[in-house]
Structure 1
Amino acid sequence: MGGAVMPDTSSPVLPAAAIREALERIFASADFDASERNRRFLRHVVEETLAGRADRIKGYSVAMAVFDRDASFDPQLDPIVRIEAGRLRRSLDHYYLTGGQADAIRVIIPKGGYVPTFTARSSADPVIDDPGVSPDMLPPDPPRPADGASIVPPPAPLQGRLGRLGRWLPWHGILILVAILALFAVWRLGALQQSPDGQAETTRRQGPAVVVAALEESDAEATRLHLGPGLTREIIAALSRHKNLFVFGTDTSLQPVPGSADALARRLSADYLLSGSVSTTPDRIRLLVSLVDAKKGRHLWSQSYESPLVPARIVDTQAEIARRVVDSLAQPYGAIYDDRITGLTGGVPEQFSSYECVLLFYAYWRRTESALYPSVRACLERTIVDDPGYADAWAALALVYADQVRFGMQPGAIGPDPLGRALPLAQRAVMLAPDAPLGYQAQHLVFWLRHDVEQSFAAARAGLERSPGNAELLADLGGRLCLRGRFDEGLPLLTEAFARNPGQLTIYRLGFFLAHYMGGRYEDALTEASRIDQRDNRFTHIVHAIAYAQLGRKNEAAAELDLLLQLNPDYGNQVVTDLQDRNMSPEIVRAVVDGLRKAGLSVPNAGI
């Protein structure tokens, strides 16, 4: 029985000895990053299969043989096997993308169970030498839209698409095809919901999984108004708009289940549990919510929210409270992002998941950390190859490429035309996810750096039409309107951005600074400058230097100027071009240069 094993294809019978040799090759490789426990897991299921006992490989038997569980083990309450199986699959995937590309036999654990399959690699199978991005892998640069035209081409009308299909199939054929697809979808849903040993099988998750526990109602009025279920539904709906989160549905949260919310989170293998209570006073609704790391039990964040209690507007009130909760949780640099980013920069990017690569981008983006730039770029280039449907990865890579022009990151590393490479990446992101804001943010920046200011603003506004509360887009558009001197349009957007996301990038406060500086309110301008914490960004030193200079504080202005010249010793000869390249209005360029001259910087007369 243990002499030979059939592979999962029509290949010849694979000898058990060859399979064991392949297994030892995996274990000996530095590219197989599994824990010792998961190595035992893999060896156990392989040996059981080779011994002809594949039918005995269930979550229960694996838990006792590998994870030291006893006879009381219940896979519905303890998801250890399912969780570790997912990690083991990722370790195998990483191995076969790296050191194991040329292995003659591949050991795979298909999703939905724990029985391994053994596949003989054909000599014709390609070996990928470099998963990086080359120009021919990028989408073609679509024609530039006319002024005022939509950035995203509208989808073809359904009638037109069916009409084209009708040229190939008669109408009754289309109806049969639709019925077959519907039946397949129903079958597939059932297959996803139940695995062979009765455990719930999760779908592929791009980011962390969040379960919202049914909010408790603390008083009779909250119960009468159904505030608990109503707010729970609204929060789930708002969270679900963030595509980087896997959010369990309303029925899961609101159905009666035995045990605590913690038990629900463990049963679902959730990463985060959001729970709380809602109460009322005669004129107010008060919501108290907390976020917990569902795997470690760590309390991560809590906040209270209040709103006027107006029964006639209860639906709108619940939606507004939910929006505020979700902005605090799920926006970039919100509570979930902060928790996931913690410790990420010390990891090994080559082993990061697609989602972790995007998180690494946010860690870089927050302070424009030049030391992180090579790792972020390489990680994202690998991600769009491995996970080509991940829109945020395409958008993030476009922003990273644009930074070669914006901040001089790794000059020449991606060719002579970084913006020419970045634009199709941003456009691909928008095509993949027309409702996701990051693609529009990337288009906004790339058009801006190409000095197509109105097209840049059109891209940002297109994103805000689809995601009106996105703090990053609000800040980007508001800040750049301020650079153009359009403070009446830009300042309200910046104010809303910081209200929605107090953890917003501090460099966006440059817009507030310029409004005060151009109005001659130099003390207020200096206060805004002090709130910008990006000390490696030359504009941080510029705004401090010119505010100090206008206030007559010459020593402090000179100290900031010294820091600026440490970053760029020849900045005096470049300042006018640099400011103009940032599309600053001529009036602002003149005012900034005047401040720098007062601070002691020698700036040639460039006719400004």
Structure 2
Amino acid sequence: MPDVPFAHDAVSGSSDIPRCDDSAVPPAHVAKELDRILSSPHFQASERRQAFLRFIVDETLAGRADSLKGYTIALAVFRRDDSFDPQADPVVRLEARRLRRDLDSYYVDSGRDDPVRITIPKGSYVPHFEWHKMHTADAPSREPALELHDDSTTAAATRANWTTKPGIRRYGPVAAALAAGVVAWIWLAARPPPSPMTPREPAVLVMSFTPLTPGENTRLFAIGMGQELTSNLFRFGGFRLYTSPSNALSAKGDEAPQPGRPLGASYVVRGSVQTSAEEVQVTTTVFNAENDEIVWMRTYARPFDPQSLMNVQRELASEIATVVGQSYGVVRNDIRADPPRNMESYLCVLRAQAYRSTFRRVDFDPAMQCLQQTVQRDPQYSDSWAMLGWLHLDAGRLGYSADGNPQTEYDKALEATSRAIALQPNSPLALKALAAAYHFTGRYADSDRISHLAIDLNPNDPDILAQFGWRLAIRGNFSEGVPMLKRAIERTLHPPAWYLHFIAVDLYLKGEYKQMLDVAETASLRDSGFSQLLIAIANTELGRRDATQTALKGMSRYKALADDPAGFLRRNGAADQVVDTLVAGLRKAQALVAS
């Protein structure tokens, strides 16, 4: 699907306004805009992403846009060697995604009045240069050389001077020096309201970690923790991520702004580091920025070994990012305030995710209707297409489809998830949804391939592990699937019921009925007909007739499962071994109750 500019970047098609194509903005204006971006304290890109932006802009202005491929950028910017494989190493794709976010954040904040905009369309590394509609009066109708001299030779000479290596190099060092000298933190206030066509997700601000113990090791560890945590959080979608500069404390020791101060931020992550001869302690707190309420806080302690300090730093940052950023993590669980109107699309996706934690029939229709409206209103919002794909899968496999034809719903799911991937190729949510769509259409090899790619892109996301583990287990591969499910549960604050189901099935196959019952009852706390089936089977093996009868009555409320258990399991991709085992267990339970 072709990409379109951000809604707030769009320029009217009126005949007296320049068109938004690369030729409409002279190179000198592009160079000035690049200088303005790189010197801004509000442009939060890392040094490497600044180099990335500088490289692709310079190459485009030099007439080498056709060479801007992942391989070329990896060698020139990310210091990869000739053996670089863009399929095995997604560094360029990931950093391009982050750079797009950096530019978007800059243009909705301090860069909102810039006369020129530099964007990087999804699916390409070639930047676009366009006049901002608020400044079309400033845009020259022709390039300055032509307007002043009406001489195409002079214009060509002017362009040639810009594209020579000395001319290209002139801007990079100046911007880098200015950026390096700036000590400020990001302010999210005083921004214009975003276009209703652009879903505005909650903003998460990661403050620098504070060293509470004197010493260089502690200071460096604190700096590294903030950087590493930010890097890990970037792999999760669903919120905008902002960072403060590495030096959150001034030379005088003044405190950085307090949690509730950054207007526009939804959540603020703050941390502190203490070290002793024996251990390092990291305390992390997530605040609701509106009221300074502590949403989540935890202290981690690890043995202090200077030789392994970097490994400890990575481990802790990964663990904290998982708790904060995952689908069932701190930020997602705390979204509770009445939303502004410009968050309708995002909140629709949240509503659909909430439905999918329980799969209650009563919640399905409102979620489906909301998503269908969202993809019409915001057709470029990848997450809404991904969630729409999920709900079409549920309509087919859970019997929620109006026409009762699962295959029709699976085809719609594949179409929606493919569109989500086209809009955002590295979106974790879109990849998970596409992997599920492949599973339910019987393309298991493709499903596994996409699942592995999603895990490679974000090994910290337990939901990716749980979905892959569930699919492996239901196809009979318990030896690989169950460990994945257990790892996902260990990393999740409030795991949904389906994380637990096939752990219980595995225990049943092993004859561990008491443990199976414990797991199934834990799952049932989040309401699931399948949990009731498992409880009935476990109680049957334990000889508990009354408890079995109660569970079977609970299961009967879920018609898709109760009316045709074998068909329900097969619609979910269950292997014959799984179907036969569970159906036999159900019949045994029914016989016990009937006796």
TM-score, with structure 1 as normaliser: 0.63
Alignment of 1:106-505 (within 5 A): 201=191, 206-221=200-215, 223-224=217-218, 226-251=220-245, 254=248, 256=250, 260-263=255-258, 266-340=261-335, 342=336, 352-412=343-403, 417-505=408-496
Q: What SS class does the counterpart of residue 286 from structure 2 fall into? A: strand
Give the direction of change, closer, same or farther, for the CA distance of 1:265–1:213 in structure 2 (3 Å limit): farther
Q: 1:568 aligns with which of 559, 574, 578?
A: 559
- Aligned partner of 1:27 in structure 2 is none
Change in CA separation of 1:422 and 1:265 when aligned onto 2, cut-off 3 Å: same
- SS of 1:430's partner is helix
Counterpart for residue 590 of structure 1: 580
- Equivalences, count: 435
Alpha-carbon deviations, 1:485-521, whole Å to 9, x = none? 2122112211211122232212211121011100111
Contact 1:360 1:376 in 2 (8 A): yes
C-alpha spacing 1:562/1:358, structure 2 compared with 1 (3 Å): same
Cα offset, 1:226, TM superposition = 1.5
Give the CA RMSD over aligned residues: 4.2
- Conserved 8 A contact 1:210-1:274: yes
Residues 186-217 of structure 1, C-alpha deviation per residue, up to 9 Å, x if partnerless? 99xx9xxxxxxx97647967311122222221
Say which structure, 1 or 2, has more relative contact order (CA 8 Å, 6+ apart): 2
Among residues 552, 555, 570, which one is paired with 2:543 in the alignment? 552
8 Å Cα contact 1:209/1:272 also seen in 2 = yes
Alpha-carbon contact 2:189-2:264 (below 8 Å) kept? no
TM superposition shift of 1:376 = 1.8
Shift of 1:113: 12
SS in 2 for 1:211: strand
Match of 1:424, SS state, is helix
Mapped contact 2:535–2:551 kept (Cα < 8 A): yes
Matched residue SS, 1:302: strand
In the alignment, which residue of structure 1 is the partner of 2:513? 522
Q: Distance in 1 between matches of 2:559 and 2:207?
A: 53
Cα distance, 1:511–1:328 mapped onto 2, change above 3 Å? same
Judging changes above 3 Å, is the alpha-carbon distance between structure 1 residues 571 and 210 closer, same or farther for their aligned structure 2 residues? closer
Q: Which runs of 5+ in 2 are unaligned?
A: 1-11, 16-107, 114-121, 127-158, 180-187
Q: Distance in 1 between matches of 2:256 and 2:378?
A: 33
Deviation at 1:331, TM superposition (A): 0.6
Q: Which residue of structure 1 aligns with residue 84 of structure 2?
A: none
Equivalent AA in structure 2 for residue 235 of structure 1: L
Alignment deviations for residues 116-163 of structure 1 (CA, whole Å, 9 cap, x no partner): xxxxxxxxxxxxxxxxxxxxxxxxxxxxxxxxxxxxxx97999xxxxx
* Aligned equivalents of 2:328, 2:485: Cα separation in 1: 16
CA distance in 2 between counterparts of 1:413 and 1:266 reads 53
Question: Letter of the aligned partner of 1:477 in structure 2?
Answer: F
Alpha-carbon separation, structure 2, partners of 1:112 and 1:398: 36
SS at match of 2:274: strand
Partners of 1:550 and 1:376 in 2: how far apart? 38
SS of alignment partner, residue 557 of structure 2? helix
CA distance in 2, matches of 1:545, 1:290: 42
CA contact (8 A) 1:217 1:223 kept: no
**Structure 1 residue identity aligned to 2:344:** S
Whole-angstrom distance in 1 between the partners of 2:326 and 2:281:
22
Tell me by how many angstroms 1:544 deviates. Answer: 0.6
Identity of aligned residues (%): 24
Mapped partners of 1:471, 1:413: distance in 2: 33
Contact 2:469 2:481 in 1 (8 A): yes
What displacement does 1:579 show? 2.2
Structure 1: gaps of 5 or more residues? 1-7, 12-109, 116-153, 159-171, 191-197, 604-608
Specify the code of the residue in structure 2 equivalent to 1:392: D
Q: CA offset at residue 260 of structure 1?
A: 4.4
Contact 1:211 1:265 in 2 (8 A): no
| One-letter amino acid of the structure 2 residue matched with residue 567 of structure 1 | Y
The 1:379–1:261 alpha-carbon spacing in structure 2 relative to 1, beyond 3 Å, is: farther
Q: Distance in 2 between matches of 1:203 and 1:252?
A: 29
Equivalents in 2 of 1:570, 1:395: separation in Å?
Answer: 25
Counterparts of 1:515 and 1:415 in 2: how far apart (Å)?
Answer: 27
> Residue 248 of structure 2 contacts residue 255 of structure 2 at CA under 8 Å; is this kept in 1?
no
Provide the rounded CA distance (Å) in 2 between the counterparts of 1:334 and 1:309. Answer: 28
TM-score, length-scaled by structure 2: 0.64
Larger CA deviation: 266-275 vs 464-473:
266-275
Q: 1:253 to 1:506 in 2, by over 3 A?
A: farther
Secondary structure of the structure 2 residue equivalent to 1:304? strand
Letter in 1 for 2:275: T
Structure 2 distance, partners of 1:569, 1:461, is 31
Residues 196-250 of structure 1: per-residue CA shift (max 9 Å, x gap): xx97647967311122222221213575552211111111222223232222234
Q: Is the 8 A contact 2:396 2:406 kept in 1?
A: no
In structure 2, C-alpha distance between the alignment counterparts of 1:386 and 1:9, rounded to whole Å:
21
CA distance in 1, matches of 2:265, 2:246: 12
CA offsets 1:576-603 (integer angstroms, 9 cap, x no match): 2222332323222222122111111699
Question: CA offsets per residue over residues 548-589 of structure 1, 9 Å max, x none?
Answer: 1111111211221122223339936x2222223323232222
Aligned to 1:578: 568
- CA distance in 1 between partners of 2:297 and 2:228 (Å): 18
Q: Is the 8 A contact 1:565 1:571 kept in 2?
A: yes
User: How far does residue 279 in structure 1 lie from its aligned partner after superposition?
Assistant: 0.9
Q: Distance in 2 between matches of 1:177 and 1:247?
A: 37
Quote the Cα distance in structure 2 between the aligned partners of 1:326 and 1:509: 23
- Distance in structure 1 (CA, Å) of the matches to 2:293 and 2:418: 40
**Taking structure 1 as reference, are residues 224 and 360 closer, same or farther at Cα in structure 2, changes over 3 Å only?**
closer
Report the residue type matching 1:326 in the other structure.
A
